[in-house]
Amino acid sequence: MARPARERLLKLAIGVAVTVPAARIAWRFYAGALGPNPIAEALNRLGFWTLVLLLAGLSCTPIKILTGWAFPLRLRRMLGLEAFAYACLHFLTYFAVDQFFDFGEIWKDIAKRKFITIGFAAFVMLIPLAVTSTNAMVRRLGFPRWKRLHRLVYLAATCGVIHFAWRVKSDLRQPMLFGFVLAVLLAIRVVDHLRAPSRRRPA
């Protein structure tokens, strides 16, 4: 049976809504409305939205566990890919705008600055997940292997939050909030797994 049109429409609306922050950042950057240090501001905002979307993608399964509502599971791949798109924009802004292709500086940053090392690691981890996000790739890998691979997102999100925490000077409130939400989302999975180890769970 075809999915209700209402759900498809809702999914489309969410998918489009998620692109609004990026469009807003791009427009404000172009219009000179990102404040006195627009490059730093664009970087911060793109990083912020990357984390928001990663956590949004990671909340689909817990919502299903807690409420039984399955619809969010249909958003998961889309949210994950959109998180990856924001991560790409974040990295490209750093690479092409902030550092202006200064490979020497970029390499030193990645090797020496642990907040950049871990942020870059998180970004790299997302690449195989995006590449294997198609139905064809799920079939090719086989579901169990695909599922194991995609557990990498837990590590990527954790690294992303640490990246944020290590970057701020002293105000840890936002990174702590992201860390708290991530911890809750992961804990729900763990508790669910421990309570019903034999039951098949949606990945």
Partner 1 sequence: MLIHKPSDIRSSEITSRVLYLRRREFLAGGAATATGLALTLAGCKSQASPTPAAPGLALPGVKKGPFGTAEPQTPFSDITTYNNFYELGTDKSDPSKNAGSLRTRPWAVAFEGEIKKPQVIDIDTLIKLYPLEERIYRLRCVEAWSMVIPWVGFPLGDLVKRLEPTSRARYLAFTTLLAPEQLPGQKTGVLDWPYVEGLRIDEAVHPLTILAVGLYGKALPNQDGAPVRLVVPWKYGFKSIKSIVKVRFVDSEPPTSWNRSAPREYGFYSNVNPAVDHPRWSQSKERRIGEFRRRDTLPFNGYASEVASLYAGMDLAKNF
The only residue of 3, 4, 23, 105 in contact with partner 1, by rule CB under 8 A? 105
What is the C-alpha separation between 144 and 46, in angstroms, rounded?
Answer: 33
Give me the least distance between CB of 62 and partner 1, in Å please: 30
Contact status: 39 vs partner 1 (CB under 8 A): yes
Q: Which stretch binds partner 1 (CB under 8 A): 18-26, 46-54, 111-119, 143-151?
A: 111-119
Contact status: 108 vs partner 1 (CB under 8 A): yes
Q: Measure Cα distances from 194 to 7, 143, 164, 187, 190 in Å.
A: 32, 22, 31, 10, 6
Q: How far is CA 81 from the centre of its chain?
A: 8
Contact status: 104 vs partner 1 (CB under 8 A): no
Q: Identify whether the C-beta of residue 83 lies closer than 8 Å to the C-beta of residue 50.
A: yes
The only residue of 100, 107, 143, 180 in contact with partner 1, by rule CB under 8 A? 100
35: left (phi over 0), alpha (psi -120 to 50) or beta: left
Q: Identify whether the C-beta of residue 157 lies closer than 8 Å to the C-beta of residue 55.
A: yes
Give me the least distance between CB of 179 and partner 1, in Å please: 17
Binding site for partner 1 (CB under 8 A): 35-37, 39-40, 99-100, 102, 105, 108-109, 112-115, 166-167, 169-171, 173
